Amino acid sequence: MSHWPLALADYRRRVSENYALVRARGAGSEPWNSWRETRDALLGSHPQSPLPETDRTGTWSTPFFPYDPAWRVSGSLQPTSGGAYIDIPHSSDGLSTRFSEVGTVSFSQAGRSHALTLFWLDAYGGGLFLPFRDSTAGSTTYGGGRYLLDTVKGADLGSTPNGDLILDFNYAYHPSCAWDGAWSCPLSPPANHLDVRVEAGEQLPRQ
């Protein structure tokens, strides 16, 4: 599949299908392990993988923190009045993507309360976007943060029966630019910097 629009459409379709299986199977380490295996297969072989071509091997395995059920939480959304626009800077100098603020997602973990700003992509079709940066950034995870939700690309964990967002940080993943500087990606804005170590989700390979 050499024609890049078709390859990109196929990649996004496969990502979306992978998350659909997670939503159908629910919480736990088994669906997470299955999701990881499928994700590794895509990263290690697909022509639209964010990995450099030299790393696209059948043996690719993304390092993750051990699965921790305590990092699967429910996020209560407080909508933002007016939906202010924000241009979120990219990893590449001078580039940015425009989003609007949907609201504040509040959650509790290990007895502490936290809040993240949920964004909506200001482009045709739109999509929810929830990046974050925590105290592992710059060491075991990418300095620009990780993504939890990006529905444009199919990264969607769904909602609880009462309408809260499912925030499972075990599924936190790096933007493409963390793997290859040729990519340009929105970074986590200051409002979404958490002052805790989120030892769940994807890590960077040890050098």
Per run of 10 residues, the mean pLDDT along the chain (length 207 residues) is 80 96 97 97 94 89 97 96 88 92 96 97 90 97 97 95 96 96 94 97 86
| Domain range enclosing 145 | 4-192
pLDDT (0 to 100) of residue 127: 95
* Six token digits for residue 122: 């200001």
Note the pTM of the prediction, 2 decimals: 0.95
The number of folded domains in the chain is: 1
Residue 130 inside a domain? The answer is yes
Residue 200 inside a domain? The answer is no
Residue 90 inside a domain? The answer is yes
Residue 47 inside a domain? The answer is yes
pLDDT (0 to 100) of residue 171: 98
pLDDT (0 to 100) of residue 2: 55
Quote the strand ranges of the chain, DSSP E.
72-79, 85-89, 96-109, 112-121, 128-132, 146-150, 165-168
Q: What Rg, from alpha-carbon coordinates, does the chain have?
A: 16
Residue 202 inside a domain? The answer is no
Residue 149 inside a domain? The answer is yes
Residue 170 inside a domain? The answer is yes
Residue 204 inside a domain? The answer is no
| Cα–Cα distance, 152 to 194 (Å, whole number) | 24
Give me the residue label for tokens 């769940």. 200
